[in-house]
Structure 1
Amino acid sequence: MTATPEPQTSNGPGEKPVLKVRDLKVTFTRGGKRIRAAKGVSFDAKPGKMLAIIGESGSGKSVTVRALMGLLPPSAEVVGSADLEGQELVGLSDKKMRMIRGQEISMIFQDPGRSLNPTMSVGAQIVESVRTHRPVSRKKAAERAIELLKLVRLPAPEKRFHQFPHQLSGGMRQRVMIAIALASDPKVLIADEATTALDVTTQAQIMELLVDLRERLGTAVIMISHDLGLAASYADEVLVMYAGKVVEQAATSELFANVRMPYTRALLEAIPQITRPSHAPLTVISGHPPDPSQRIEGCPFKPRCIRSTDECATAPLLEEHEPGHWYACWHPVDGALAPIPEKSGAVPGEAAAVAADVEALPGERPPSVSVTSTRTPAIGKESTS
């Protein structure tokens, strides 16, 4: 068997990864079936850089990062390696994982309305997070909480400290979630569909905030998303997943300028274009991702790929075919379909939300790809949302 290749990123040679994930596999057992949700995922997360992991619902994005956090149910079997600056995360006991989770590696969840405790004030929840990982008094923790609310640009932080989640807008609640995640200055910050539940204006503000925090604090950010517009605008590197596998990986500028994997191209084709006639049907990817409980022979995208041939009955390996550009395909495509959006204060004018907003549970067949179009105006960095 061929060894899993080391992922190569386009970042500078002096940038040492803070998190190195190698050959990570996640398997669930349900109803006597083995459900393979992640199949040998490898990547690096580097300080001050943002890695975007994209793909349809059910592709294994959220399962992969939740495995790193120790947030999967007991039925999950996790093997492989996740090295966080010399500390192996895979196989850690719950007790040891609780010491690392929130302190060394934190996560911002998709829906702040469901993640925050409605019976506790915003300040009390941040104080609790601070004191969980730092031996400080309640007074010092409260001062730290105010600092964090200022850091995430929440207006009137002293006032918000005493308010409850229901008294805040969706954007404000997400800023509180980010403040909680930053309570102990984690080395790695995972944003798991962190902007999906927000309107596009607030979405852009939250992404600008994450970029600013990444640059100021040197935090490695892993963004999980189905929105290629966000990945193109804000990520330094993009990793595309399909059926639990990495199928393409490159620096953002390289990937969007020289798409190689037909699946990636199909996702890009689904992005609504301004030049498209107003009543023209949107492009969709026909069919469904494969059932993760069934063993796949050959390329997993073969049944949905218009370029498939008999050769695709043998699974292609993920290989570095071009410097810094990895993909797994016997019949790669050539070229890009859309210009790369500038990294300004705005999301691309036409952003795509590909597939469903919520990751399908292992064993469930996710819906076929659909696309919705949104428009986002340019926004300054200061905001009250």
Structure 2
Amino acid sequence: MTTQDRMIDLASADDATAHDGGDEPAPVLTVQDLRVTFSRGGRTIRAVNGLNYQLRAGRTLAIIGESGSGKSVSVRALMGLLPPSAFVSGSARLGQTELVGLNEKAMRAIRGDEIAMVFQDPARSLNPTMNVGQQITEAIGMHQRLDKKAAADRAVELMKLVRLPAAERRFEEYPHQLSGGMRQRVMIAIALASDPKVLIADEATTALDVTTQAQIMELLADLQDRLGTSVIMISHDLGLAACYADEVLVMYGGKAVEQAPAATLFSHVRMPYTKALLGSIPQLTTPSHGLLSVIGGQPPDLASLPQGCAFRPRCPNASDQCLTEPALTEHEPGHRYACWHPVGAAGAGGSADGDRARVEEVS
């Protein structure tokens, strides 16, 4: 399915379809009250502050937000990839396994086998001194008992699965001999080495050009259809989320501030922060030398969050009521948001129509 086809599907989906009451796939990952704090110089940095969500089998959850909102820290906490200075609490259950508090030995048995990650910059993630075939084979050997030939055959099979051209020849090549898109395909092959239940794509296309970015996202979508893998997509690109995600969770200041099925969120934006993110997407109709729309102010200091709603100092709808923090509540079927003055409410002003058109245009 092409990006255009996905946008047509999204545009044609209405609320009745989004909430048809049909049987939902069982959750493979359940995150409850996840918190990550760092202590530095006498300050406590609340990088993730009470995150809750479920990832269902065969579905894609997009977690979006500005840099520093807590997106990557939250998924690295699931993988046990945070430094010793991080304190993680709450719950993250992968099937019947509790990931929070798991010791490193037990985590290594799960990491790469049941939950795997594709990182942002493949040039830095791959070992420049090893050919790509060795690196894929090494990932296979971590969780499967195969002889050298069987592991090499499996590596070539994975390289073909991720559509790496001339896989047998590429097996002997080094990362510097491959393009950025090819290196990212190698990273995906490594992540898929043990058929994980959950695949985390942490800004996996940010370092790639637009054409290669589309190819990688189509590849991930195709692999998900074929393998049934559940995907968490970390991104600041709302166009990608609109095209490929089943559900979208928006983070700000370490918390979820809006969450809904993709079709619902982009047609009925409620959180002013989400609306501001959509408004920051450049449009083809913008004059060539015109100023781009930006979100005023600065992201909050996670060691000294403002009173009440963290977005209050930057929000055009803020009032004294916002000095009391709103809870993330399901105000509409399947649509949760944390805001006293949601977009579209009486007196709040604004409409989601132009914002959604902006996403469709950039996608």
The question of whether the paired residues in 2 share the 8 Å contact of 1:257 and 1:336 is answered with yes
The secondary structure found in structure 1 opposite 2:303 is: coil
Alignment deviations for residues 149-180 of structure 1 (CA, whole Å, 9 cap, x no partner): 01000011001111100000000000000000
Residue 324 in 1 paired to residue 334 in 2? yes
Match of 1:137 among 133, 137, 147: 147
Task: For 1:298 and 1:233, locate their aligned partners in 2 and report how far apart those are by CA, in whole Å.
Answer: 33
Match of 1:100? 110
Amino acid in structure 2 at the alignment position of 1:23: D
Taking structure 1 as reference, are residues 254 and 175 closer, same or farther at Cα in structure 2, changes over 3 Å only? same
Residue 149 in 1 paired to residue 149 in 2? no
Alignment deviations for residues 10-33 of structure 1 (CA, whole Å, 9 cap, x no partner): 684341011011110000011111
Q: Which has the higher helix share?
A: 2
The secondary structure found in structure 2 opposite 1:66 is: helix
- 1:335-354 superposed matches below 5 A: 335-338=351-354, 349-350=361-362
Match of 1:87 among 84, 97, 117: 97
1:275 CA displacement: 2.2
Task: For 1:318 and 1:340, locate their aligned partners in 2 and report how far apart those are by CA, in whole Å.
Answer: 22
Residue 280 in 1 paired to residue 290 in 2? yes
Aligned length: 338
- 1:1-385 superposed matches below 5 A: 12-334=22-344, 335-338=351-354, 349-350=361-362
1:348 CA displacement: 5.3
Alignment deviations for residues 118-167 of structure 1 (CA, whole Å, 9 cap, x no partner): 00000000000000011111111111101100100001100111110000
1:280 CA displacement: 2.0
The question of whether the paired residues in 2 share the 8 Å contact of 1:268 and 1:337 is answered with no
The question of whether the paired residues in 2 share the 8 Å contact of 1:146 and 1:158 is answered with yes
1:286 CA displacement: 0.7
Task: For 1:338 and 1:173, locate their aligned partners in 2 and report how far apart those are by CA, in whole Å.
Answer: 37
What residue ranges of structure 2 are gaps of 5+ in the alignment?
A: 1-17, 345-350
Task: For 1:339 and 1:331, locate their aligned partners in 2 and report how far apart those are by CA, in whole Å.
Answer: 18
1:216 CA displacement: 0.7
The secondary structure found in structure 2 opposite 1:120 is: coil
Which consecutive aligned stretches of 4+ in structure 1 deviate over 4 angstroms post-superposition? 9-12
Task: For 1:131 and 1:138, locate their aligned partners in 2 and report how far apart those are by CA, in whole Å.
Answer: 9
- Normalising by structure 1, report the TM-score: 0.86
Amino acid in structure 1 at the alignment position of 2:91: S
The question of whether the paired residues in 1 share the 8 Å contact of 2:278 and 2:355 is answered with no
- State the identity %: 67
Q: CA-atom RMSD, angstroms?
A: 1.5
The question of whether the paired residues in 2 share the 8 Å contact of 1:253 and 1:340 is answered with no
What residue ranges of structure 1 are gaps of 5+ in the alignment?
A: 1-8, 342-346, 352-385
The secondary structure found in structure 1 opposite 2:309 is: coil
Task: For 1:295 and 1:161, locate their aligned partners in 2 and report how far apart those are by CA, in whole Å.
Answer: 49
- Quick check: 113-122 or 44-53, which moved more? 44-53
Match of 2:7? none
The question of whether the paired residues in 1 share the 8 Å contact of 2:205 and 2:216 is answered with yes
1:46 CA displacement: 1.4
Amino acid in structure 2 at the alignment position of 1:247: V
1:281 CA displacement: 1.1
The secondary structure found in structure 2 opposite 1:260 is: coil
Match of 2:12? none
1:340 CA displacement: 5.2
Amino acid in structure 2 at the alignment position of 1:63: V
Amino acid in structure 2 at the alignment position of 1:160: R
The secondary structure found in structure 1 opposite 2:27 is: coil
Amino acid in structure 1 at the alignment position of 2:141: R
1:337 CA displacement: 3.8
1:349 CA displacement: 4.9
- Normalising by structure 2, report the TM-score: 0.91
Amino acid in structure 1 at the alignment position of 2:238: L
